[in-house]
Every structure is written in C-alpha cells, then in structure tokens.
Structure 1
Amino acid sequence: MLFASIPFLVGFLPAVLITTFAMRRWFGLRGALATLAIGSLVFYGWYHPPFLLLLLGSVAVNYVLAQKISASQSRLLTGMGVAFNLALLGWYKYAGFFDDIARALSGNGFGIPDVLLPLGISFFTFQQIAYLVDIYQGKAKPGDALEYLFFVAFFPQLIAGPIVHHSEMIPQLSKPRFAMFKTEDIASGLVLFCIGLAKKVLIADGLAPGADAMFEAQALGIELSATEAWLGMLCYTFQIYFDFSGYADMALGLGLLFGLNLPINFNSPYKATDIIEFWRRWHITLSKFLRDYLYIPLGGNRHGPFRRYANLWLVMLLGGLWHGAGWQFVVWGGLHGAYLTTAHFWRANNMPRLSPTIGFALTFAAVVIAWVFFRAETFGQAYAVLQAMFGFTSVNYLSTAIFVELNPILVTLLLAMLIAFFAPNSIEISKRLEKQPIGTFAPLWYAIAGCIAALSLTHIYSSGSHAFIYFQF
C-alpha cells in the first residue's frame, strides 16, 4: 500500500488511527499495540499477501534468538542470527545476481529461478541484525513477542526506513502520549505528512518523466546532447531527493500521529559542502548502521590510514550493493568510497579548506555523476550518458522529441532546486512549530499544509502516484 494513494489516505490511515486511540482508551497499551501490529501486517500484506509469512517467520526466528542470546550472551548464537538474516536477504535479493556472475564466468549458472523481491526486506533485515547485536552487547533487552512484532512491523518505517533501534522505539511505548489523541502531535504530524506528500506527488513524480525520457531515448539508440543529458540527470537527482525526502517526512509525520518520534533520516543533503557532510545528511540511519555494525567492527580508523581507507571503501561498496543487486550499484558505492577517501585524506593532511561555495559545487557535481550509475540499467547506458554530459558526442543540438518531454518539467525542476538549496527543511519547520503554541505562529504552516494537501490529493485522484524509489531496495 502506498502512502500517496486514496485507499491509504481515506481508508487505512483514518481507520487505524481511530481504532488505535479507541483501543488505548478501552484496553490500554496492549490493545493499542495489538491494533498497530495487526494494521501494520495488513499494510504489508496489501501488496503481496504471501510475503506476510516471510515477515512473520523472520520476526519469530529473531525473537527466539534474541531471548536465547540475552540469556546466554552467546557470540555463536549472535553470529548464527546475523548469518540467518543475511542468508534470507541474500536469497531474495542477490541469488539471481550471483547466478548471473556464475553464468558469465563459466557459461553455466546455478539454475536459480527468478525471485520476487519482498518489499522492505533490506530494511527489516538490517533492523533485526542491529537488534541481535545490541542484545548481545547489552545495549537492549528483549521484551515480549507483541512488542517485538510492533517494533519490526510498524508500518510507517517498515517498507523504506528509517532503520530503528529497539532502544529508540520501545521506551516510548510507556509514555502517556503513545496512541493517545494529543493535539500537538496530531497537528505536527499532519504538517510533516502533508509536506512529505507534496514532495512525493507534486515534485518527485513530476520530475520522473524528465529523467525517464532521457534514459529511454538513450536505450533506443538516440545520441544525447550535453544539454539533454544534464537536464535528464538533474531531473533524476532531484526526483530521488524529493522521493526519499517525501517518504522520510511522511514516516516521521505518521509516527507523530501515534505519539512516537521516529529517528530523522534525511536532513537537506544537497546543502552539504563536502561528501562527509553529505553522508551525515542522506539516509542517516543507514549511514549510522554501516558505521556502527560494519566500519567500526572492521577496525574503523584504529589501525592506521591504509586500513581506514580500505574499510571506507569496503563499507561503501557493500552499501552500494545493499541498494541493489547489480554492478552499477557497486560502482555507485565505489565512487562514494573514493569520494570519502579523498575527503578524509584531505582533512587528515591539513590541506587548504575549500570555500563553502566551491565545496558545495564540487560535492553536488560528484553526487550527480554517481547518480548516473545508480539510475542506469547497464554500464553501457551509464557510459553513454556520462559521455554526453561531458560533451564527448557529436550532437550539438537539442533533440525536439526530448525537449518537448522536458520543457514542461523545467519549472518543477527550478522549484525543486530552490527548495532543496535554500528553503528550510521539514525538520526545521517542525522544530519551529514545537516552540510555538497552537493559535500563534502555527496557523500559517497549517494553512500551507492544507493547501498542498489539497493539491496533492487532487493530483492523486486524477493521475495516481508512483511507488517510492526506495521500495525496490
């Protein structure tokens, strides 16, 4: 089920919200938890009901392992739990990829059938790996089965994050605001959700045809000009920005509606003035997971510069592969590994600091170049697009067909750039609202939220909406 869909907005969400509040009032915490857990399973099963068995099986195995690890502090059991989760992820997400590698190297694959990728498997797998490791390290203590099911399956973060830690979520359940009608939470949550909805429906979906037109033209063998290639890549650069930012805002807003603070996962990354800052702002919970559960266990920066940079490369290569089973994702991760290595080397050796403007421009350009591999279907396509972007083609005119596709989108692209580079982000807006009593500064933002919600709903009703890009990961 999509957040940006009529069934969710006028059916699922109001029903779950009202029922949860009622169950909290009549049956207390357990009633609210049960309602949210059941509602989340309905939400997940809406797309493909058989995957509910996979999710429930994963939850059951990890719950039992967590209980045993807590009782025994067994390193072996922890390793087995991590291996179980990685094996599950590997089968559904990477079996076909490794089969293709075997076929390319030997001429014969393993005969692995095509497997439908379960929604959210990358997210709930990493979340449960972190949980098992935290239990082993004493950072978390296992609760009961209902709490754990809720922790994994809570629908705002189940499909595309944020990756939530047990210690961040479960303690909030005992607070009076959880699953209770609180005017402040409802108001702030609706503002955040409406902002995110507009980002997704009005901006990200509006830019998608521009990126798609350029890549489809290249796939048909049309040679691209530099203008076409850059316009197409800028459309994709801001499409994925507002698509992911929109989901992050909607997830935070939905959490607030139920009285829960989910971790911030997105914080204006295109305002970054170096690539290190970019990764502290983009997909924040994934960056922290890779740091805490991969980079630091590998040795981090504790064994000299060579090991540090090797660890950075390995973490980013695996981070790229986490995003998708394809070599283009590995290259995307490798590029960011190279960027980060260069940035850390520059800092470690006290090189002259670049001005914020130059740093911003270089960082943004590097990110756009890496997105070429992230979006391209093949290496050949990525190479062709990069050639066009840097003028290594014979085309010096703008193709009429692509221009017609892109021209109506230029206004949306300009608006997206202005918002991403200069406007306060939703987190900053939310913090301002929290400091103001309802009835003073807040009505302006509520009016804005209402207007963009109306525009978004009108668009969804007339044209529908696309799935989030991160649903495929």
Structure 2
Amino acid sequence: MLFNSYEFVFFFLPVTFAVFFVLARFRHRLAAFWLAAASFFFYGWWAPRYVLLLLASIAFNYVMGLAIAHARSPDGATPRARLLLIAALVGDLALLGYYKYTDFFISSVNAATGLEWSLTHIVLPLGISFFTFTQIAFLVDVYRGIAREYNPIHYTLFASYFPHLIAGPVLHHKQMMPQFDKPETYRIDIANINSGMTIFAIGLFKKVIVADQFALYANPVFTAAQAGAHLPFAEAWIGALAYTFQLYFDFSAYSDMAIGLSRLFNVELPVNFNSPYKALNIIDFWRRWHMTLSKFLRDYLYISLGGNRRGRTRRYVNLMLTMVLGGLWHGANWTFVLWGTLHGLYLVVNHAWQALREALALPKIRGSGFIAGAITFVAVVVAWVVFRANDISSAWSLIQGMAGWNGFRSPAGLAPHVAASGAVVMAWLAGGIAVSKMLPNSLEIAAALENWRYRGRALGFAAGALFVYVVLNFNRITTFIYFQF
C-alpha cells in the first residue's frame, strides 16, 4: 500500500488511528497488537504471500535474540553467544541474498564464464533490506548487552511498524521499543496530530507534485541513453539534474511522511534526511543523506572492520569496503557497486584533503564554502547518474554527454527527448536548486509553525490546504524510489 493512494488516506490510516486509540483506553498491549496487525495488513496489501516471510523473519530474529541474551554471562558475551549471533546473521543474510542477489550472481557468472544458467526471476519482497538490517542491529545489540527489552508484541511492532517498514528509516530498538511502554503514547495528543499532519501533507506534496514532475524529465533521458542515443551536453545535464531532484524530493517526501504519520500515534522516528544538498563536502553529505543507514554502516560495519583505529591506510580501506557494500545493499546491479565505489573514493579524497589542510595549516580562502558546495553537488550528481542508469555503459554514455563529448546542444532543441519546453524544464530545475540548497526543509518549517503564536490555526490550515490540493492531484499513482531496495 502506498502513502500516496486513496485506500491509504481514506481507509487504512483513519481506521488504524481510530481503533488504536479506542483499544488503548482498555489495554495498551491490545492497542500495540492492533498496530502490529495493521502493519502486516499494510505490508500484505502489495503481496499477501510475503506476509508469511515477514512473520518468519521476525519470529526467527526474536527467538535468536532471546537465545543470545540467555547465552550471555553477567561478565559479557560468551563463545556460545557469539556462535548464536553468527548463526543468526548467516540466516538473515542468506534470506536477503536469496531474494535480492540470486539472479545478480547467476547473470554475473554467465557473463564471466559464458555459461547459460537460467535466471530464477525471483520477485523482491518490498522492504526486505530495511526489516533485515533493523533486526540485524537488534541482534548485535543483544550480543553487546545493549538491548534488554524482549516484549514480543513490542518487538513485532518495532520490526513491522508500517511508517518505516517499506523504505526506512533503519531503526534501533532503543529508538522505538521504549516508546511503546510510555502511557502517553496511547493518549490522543492534538499537538502531535497538528504537527504530524502538517509534515505528512508537506511530504505528500513533495512526492505527488514535485518528485513525480521531475521524473517526467529524467526518465526519457535515461531511457534514451539506454537505447544508445548520444545525448548532447544540455540534455544530458537536464536528465541528470532532473533525477537528482526527483530522488531528493521522493526520498525526503517518504521520510517526512514516515515522521508525520508516526507523530499521529505519538511515536517519534529518527530524522533520516536533513537537506543533504546543502553539504559542503561528501562527509557532511553522508551525515545528511539517509542518516540512519549511514549510522548503521558506521556502527555495524565500518567500526567492526576497525574504523580509524589501525592507521590511515586501513581507515581508507575500511571506508572503501563500507561504501562498496553499502552500494551493493541498494540493489543487485553493478551500477550500485560502482556508485558505492565512487562515494568511497569521494570520502577517501575528502578525508585525505582534510588531513593535508591540517598538516599544512592551510588558511580558509574567502568564498571556499561556495566552491566546496558546488564541487560536492556536482560529484553527487555524477554518482546519481550511475545509481539511476540501468547499466554501466548507459551511465558512461550519459556522463560523456555531460562532459560535452557529444556536442553542447541538439539541433532539435534543448531537450528533444523531454516532452516539455526548455523554459519549463529550466524553471523546474532552478526551483529544485533553490529549494534544496537555500530554503528550510520541511521539519524546520513545521518547527517554525509550531513556535508561531497562532500555531494551531496555522498548522491546521497548512495541512488541510496542502492535503486537499495533493489529493485532487492523485491522477497517477507512482511508487517511491527506495521501495526497490
């Protein structure tokens, strides 16, 4: 089920909300059970058969978590606890690998050896990367002695909670499970409803009105590149920038809606998106983009590999490995591996430059912030081309066009593959730059409205007007980009 659909907005959300708070008046555990059941219904709307897969994953990880906890000694982890953790991780990664990477492995072997093994054409379950990583973090925290709550209903709700189930954020147990123990979670809070609906409406607007409009300019360009077209400079950059802003508004829209929906139920999700195109370097970019995934990769992969504790060279190797695996997490395609490799190289160069500046005590140059921001943005755009392309050859073709290798303008116009005038396209791109790099983000806007003297009236009006406008534009239903991961 999609947030930007009639069945979600007019059926699932109001019914789930009303029943949750009615049941909460009688028993909190019953209300939590209802919210978990509703989350399974939400997930099963797309493919009911995968509800059993989600249930099996939750049951397996809950049982393994209990086993690891019981195997620990008062002094810490034991060899038995470590063995159980390894077994659980192997099980989780095997499940993820089977559904997500089987055909990728077969096609890669076929390409390398000339074999003709048949592909399985397995349908990827929605959100499998997110609910798998969420539970891996729980298992590791149990092993480390950090996770100490084992309420089965709260755990099930933590792993299946519908606002984050499909496309994140990647949650930690300590961010979610304690909230289900608080009495205030089960009482209607008008302030949370006001701010939640405002943030949800802003996110809905960004998805339906903005992100999907940029998709109309990006998709034809990438399709043309895949078909072998040699795109000129202007059109290549239009496609690259349009996708850059499509992904920005699409992912930030989902992040907003997840936070807004959760506030309706008095649950605070961690911020997952914080104006990443305002970053002045790649290090800062990854502190702002998909923040919970970045934290997961840092805490459970980069640090486990040794982090920066074993010298500068090993630190750079660990950065590269972390980003390559992070790229592969995004999808079963060599384009994602290359995208992760690019960002690994970006981070290595960024860290090396910072170390050199400190060693030489180089002064800060006037205007360097603007230059650094521009370089970072261009580097991110180039990497997004690789991320979006269907294969490496079409990505390279589009990058060649961006470099001017195919000329600077098509004789047929600014962007012959895009069904819109050049002026309209340029206006949208200019608007994308202005909003993403200069204006406050949706959480900052909501916070400002909350602090306004007439916040109740303002929030209600803003949410209502945006909501009505967007619903009237539900003329095409499109999925979120991160659903495929």
The superposition leaves residues 194-227 of structure 1 with CA deviations (integer Å, 9 ceiling, x where unpaired) of 0100010110001101001111222333321100
- Residue equivalent to 2:445: 429
Distance in 1 between residues matched to 2:46 and 2:225, nearest whole Å: 32
Q: Is the CA contact 1:294–1:315 (under 8 Å) kept in the aligned structure 2? A: yes
Displacement of 1:283 = 0.1
- Output the CA distance in 2 between the equivalents of 1:298 and 1:403: 46
Q: Which amino acid aligns with 1:396?
A: R
Return the alpha-carbon distance in structure 2 between the equivalents of residues 278 and 394 of structure 1: 31
In the alignment, is residue 411 of structure 1 matched against residue 427 of structure 2? yes
Match of 2:352 in 1: 345
**What residue in structure 1 maps to residue 66 of structure 2?**
67
What's the counterpart of residue 402 of structure 1? 417
- Are 2:401 and 1:388 equivalent residues in the alignment? yes
How do 1:300-379 and structure 2 match up within 5 A? 300-350=307-357, 352=362, 353=364, 355-379=368-392
Q: Determine the structure 2 residue equivalent to 1:22.
A: 22
2:190 corresponds in structure 1 to: 183
- Relative to structure 1, the CA distance from residue 308 to residue 109 in structure 2 (aligned partners, 3 Å threshold; closer, same or farther) is farther
- Distance in structure 2 (CA, Å) of the matches to 1:445 and 1:418: 24
What is the distance in 2 between the residues matched to 1:195 and 1:333? Answer: 30
CA 284–392 in structure 1, closer or farther in 2 if over 3 Å, else same: same
Q: Answer yes or no: is the 8 Å Cα contact 1:21–1:179 preserved in 2.
A: yes
d(CA) in 1 for partners of 2:411, 2:245: 21
Check the 8 A contact 2:233/2:407 in 1, yes or no.
no
Alignment of 1:50-449 (within 5 A): 50-73=49-72, 74-108=81-115, 111-350=118-357, 352=362, 353=364, 355-394=368-407, 396-397=409-410, 399-400=412-413, 401-405=416-420, 407=422, 408-436=424-452, 440-449=454-463
Q: Give 1:406 deviation, angstroms.
A: 5.7
Counterpart for residue 484 of structure 2: 472
- Indicate yes or no: 2:455 matched with 1:456: no
Residues in 2 aligned to 1:399 and 1:187: alpha-carbon distance in whole angstroms = 50
Structure 1 counterpart of 2:76:
none
Mean CA deviation greater in 425-434 or 76-85: 425-434
Give the share of equivalent positions with the same residue, in percent: 47
5+ residue gaps, structure 1: none
Q: Distance in 2 between matches of 1:155 and 1:46?
A: 12
Report the residue type matching 1:443 in the other structure: R
Name the stretch that deviates more: 123-132 or 427-436.
Answer: 427-436
| Runs of 4+ residues deviating >6 angstroms | none
Unaligned runs of 5+ residues in structure 2 are 73-80
Query: How far did residue 101 of structure 1 move?
Result: 1.4
Whether the aligned pair in 2 keeps the contact of 1:210 and 1:406 (CA below 8 Å) is no
Which residue type is aligned with residue 225 of structure 2? Q
Residue 77 of structure 2: aligned partner: none
Question: RMSD value over aligned CA atoms?
Answer: 1.5
Question: What amino acid sits opposite 2:374 in the alignment?
Answer: A
* Offset at residue 445 of structure 1 (A): 4.3
- In the alignment, which residue of structure 1 is the partner of 2:48? 49
Amino acid at match of 1:307: R
> How far apart in 2 are the matches of 1:109 and 1:145?
46
1:23, distance to aligned residue in structure 2 (A): 0.7
By how many angstroms is 1:298 displaced? Answer: 0.3
TM-score (norm 2): 0.93
Give the letter aligned to residue 405 of structure 2: F
* Deviation (angstroms), 1:447: 2.5
Contact 2:220–2:418 (8 Å) recurs in 1: no
Decide which moves more: 85-94 or 99-108.
Answer: 99-108
Aligned partner letter, 2:461:
A
Residue 145 (structure 1) shift: 1.7
Residue 2 (str. 1) matches residue 15 (str. 2): no
> 3-state DSSP class of the match of 2:124?
coil
Counterpart CA distance in 1 for 2:228 and 2:175 is 50
**Residues 227, 398 of structure 1: 8 Å contact kept:** no
| 1:135 and 1:142 in contact (8 A); partners too | no
Q: What is the Cα deviation at residue 395 of structure 1?
A: 6.0
Q: Which amino acid aligns with 2:34?
A: T
